[in-house]
A and B are shown apart, each in its own frame.
Chain A
Amino acid sequence: MRTAVVQFPGSNCDEDAVKAVVSVMGASAELVWHTTADLSAYDLIVIPGGFSYGDYLRSGAIARFSPVMAAVSAAAARGQYVLGICNGFQILTEAGLLPGALRRNESLQYRCELVDLKVENANTAFSRDYVAGETVRIPIAHGDGNYYVDEAQLAGMEARRQIVFRYASEYNPNGSVADIAGVVNESGNVLGMMPHPERAVHALLGSADGARVFSSILTSWRDAHEHVNA
């Protein structure tokens, strides 16, 4: 399995994402610069956290027009896995690859802490190694994580089970609609989440609960390849 981690000017969780992929999946991961025009060789594309283009204008607004984003859209359309974490989630919503938008935190404060998440849907390529309804601990670190969709869109997303993670334990750190922390697209191959699973892949980091995002992807990829070979 081949993974690309996209680097924009201002990405700062790129190396952590590479280390998470290598340590959890036992697979290689390559850093690719935002000018890369072709990502067809990769099975998983990670859009990491950070402050691409200084978050000028809006978080993710300028990165969304980087040359690599046409390749990310093409990859998503082909069914390759795309995982957007934090700023990566913001970029994917700006690009229209995921519904909704991320606003300034309701508190106006940057929040950097371990939070409880409820696994809302354990039946996606990114969450199948979790148990539906379980509570996991994964850190957040963001100022613009306040997820918004209008009520009609939210109802459609709930019906299609596109909400994968919600903030739990009655603590919503940013004001997100319906406590939403992570969503998947309708096809199920693009996930965006504000919490950082790559920072929670070992007990020494405070939690190993994020590791299952990566192991889920690997399991899904293996399944798909067994089907191809069968």
Chain B
Amino acid sequence: MKYKASIYVTLKGSVLDPQGSAVSKALHALQYEAVDDVRVGKYIEVRLRAASDADAGQQVERMCEQLLTNPVIETYSYTLEATA
């Protein structure tokens, strides 16, 4: 089976996000006063082959833990979509 994994990487909540702070200030300057917090992250799209949904999920999690994120400062979430 073929899958598309949509992976979102962000800094952990406990880690200060300087880009998010800068964007938050800019939004406030543009009068978006309702904005409480901004976190800037990364979106990574991976197309892969896997035997099942569970196999695809396991592969994606291994990739995230080994390379795609730095677990010291980052966290991730993902969605899987069967593409064929």
Q: What residues make up the interface of A, taking CB atoms closer than 8 Å to B?
A: 57-58, 61-62, 65, 93-94, 100-101, 103-108, 146, 148-150, 175
Taking CB atoms, residues of chain B closer than 8 Å to A61 are: 67, 70
Residue B18 contacts which of A65, A94, A101, A104 (CB distance < 8 angstroms)?
Answer: A104
Say yes or no: is B58 at the interface (Cβ < 8 Å to chain A): no
Residue A150 contacts which of B14, B19, B68, B70 (CB distance < 8 angstroms)?
Answer: B14
What 0/1 readout, one digit per residue, does chain B (61-76) give for beta carbons within 8 Å of chain A?
0000001101011000
Q: What residues make up the interface of B, taking CB atoms closer than 8 Å to A?
A: 11, 14-16, 18-19, 22, 67-68, 70, 72-73
Taking CB atoms, residues of chain B closer than 8 Å to A107 are: 18
Extra contacts, 7 of them, besides A57-B68, A58-B70, A61-B70 (Cβ < 8 A), are: A65-B67, A103-B18, A104-B19, A106-B18, A146-B18, A149-B72, A175-B16
Residue A108 contacts which of B11, B22, B68, B72 (CB distance < 8 angstroms)?
Answer: B22
User: In whole angstroms, how far apart are the Cα atoms of A89 and B68 in the complex?
Assistant: 19
Expressed in whole angstroms, the minimum distance between the Cβ of A99 and any Cβ of chain B is 8
Pair B19/A101 contact, Cβ less than 8 Å: no
Taking CB atoms, residues of chain A closer than 8 Å to B18 are: 103-108, 146, 175
User: In whole angstroms, how far apart are the Cα atoms of A104 and B70 in the complex?
Assistant: 13
6 A-B pairs within 8 Å (CB atoms) are namely A57-B67, A101-B70, A106-B18, A108-B18, A148-B15, A150-B14
Pair A101/B22 contact, Cβ less than 8 Å: no
Expressed in whole angstroms, the minimum distance between the Cβ of A83 and any Cβ of chain B is 21
User: In whole angstroms, how far apart are the Cα atoms of A108 and B22 in the complex?
Assistant: 9
Pair A103/B15 contact, Cβ less than 8 Å: yes
Taking CB atoms, residues of chain A closer than 8 Å to B22 are: 108
Pair B72/A101 contact, Cβ less than 8 Å: yes
Taking CB atoms, residues of chain A closer than 8 Å to B16 are: 103, 106, 175
User: In whole angstroms, how far apart are the Cα atoms of A212 and B11 in the complex?
Assistant: 36
| Closest B residue to A100 using CB positions | B72
Taking CB atoms, residues of chain B closer than 8 Å to A103 are: 11, 15-16, 18, 73
Taking CB atoms, residues of chain A closer than 8 Å to B15 are: 103, 148
User: In whole angstroms, how far apart are the Cα atoms of A61 and B66 in the complex?
Assistant: 10
Taking CB atoms, residues of chain B closer than 8 Å to A58 are: 70
User: In whole angstroms, how far apart are the Cα atoms of A106 and B20 in the complex?
Assistant: 11
Expressed in whole angstroms, the minimum distance between the Cβ of A30 and any Cβ of chain B is 29
Taking CB atoms, residues of chain A closer than 8 Å to B19 are: 104, 108
Give the top 5 A-B pairs by smallest Cβ distance, nearest first: A101-B72, A101-B73, A106-B18, A101-B70, A108-B18
Expressed in whole angstroms, the minimum distance between the Cβ of B71 and any Cβ of chain A is 9
Expressed in whole angstroms, the minimum distance between the Cβ of A79 and any Cβ of chain B is 25
Pair B67/A148 contact, Cβ less than 8 Å: no
Expressed in whole angstroms, the minimum distance between the Cβ of A23 and any Cβ of chain B is 35
Expressed in whole angstroms, the minimum distance between the Cβ of B74 and any Cβ of chain A is 8
